[in-house]
Chains A and B, each alone.
Chain A
Amino acid sequence: MAHIHLEDGSFTIFWAVAWWLIAILAIGICLYWLRRFKKIDNRLITLAGLCTAASFALFQINIPIAGGVHMNLTPLIGILTGPAIGSLIVLIVNIFSAAIGHGGWGLIGANTLVNITEVTCAYFLFMWLGKLRLDTFSRAGIATLLGLFAGNVAMIAIILISGVQGVNQSTWDIFTGLSIIAGINMIVAVIEAVITGYVVAYIQRVRPDILGEAKNAG
Chain B
Amino acid sequence: MPDKVKNSRGLIIFVAIVLVFIAAGLAAYLISGDKGIEERFSQAVGLGGGPEEGEPGGFFGFNIEGNLLTYVIILFLLAIVCIILLKVFKI
| A interface, CB within 8 angstroms of B | 4-6, 10, 42-43, 45-47, 49-50, 52-53, 56-57, 60-64, 66-70, 96-97, 99-102, 129, 132-135, 137-139, 141-142, 145-146, 149, 159, 164, 166-169, 173-174, 177-187, 189-190, 193, 197, 210
CB-CB under 8 A from A129, the residues of chain B are: 10
Chain B residues within 8 Å of chain A by Cβ, number: 59
Q: Are the CB atoms of A67 and B36 closer together than 8 Å?
A: yes
CB-CB under 8 A from B89, the residues of chain A are: 42-43, 45-46
The B16-43 residues at the A interface (CB cut-off 8 A) are 17-18, 21-22, 24-29, 31-43
Chain B proximity of A3: nearest CB distance (Å) = 8
Q: Are the CB atoms of B67 and A101 closer together than 8 Å?
A: yes
Give chain A's interface secondary structure class: helix
Q: Are the CB atoms of B18 and A193 closer together than 8 Å?
A: yes
The answer for the CA separation of A178 and B46 in the assembled complex, in Å, is: 10
Q: Are the CB atoms of A67 and B25 closer together than 8 Å?
A: no
The residue from B28, B37, B65 contacting A101, defined by CB atoms under 8 A apart = B65
Which residue of chain B lies nearest to A43 when distances are taken between CB atoms in the complex? Answer: B91
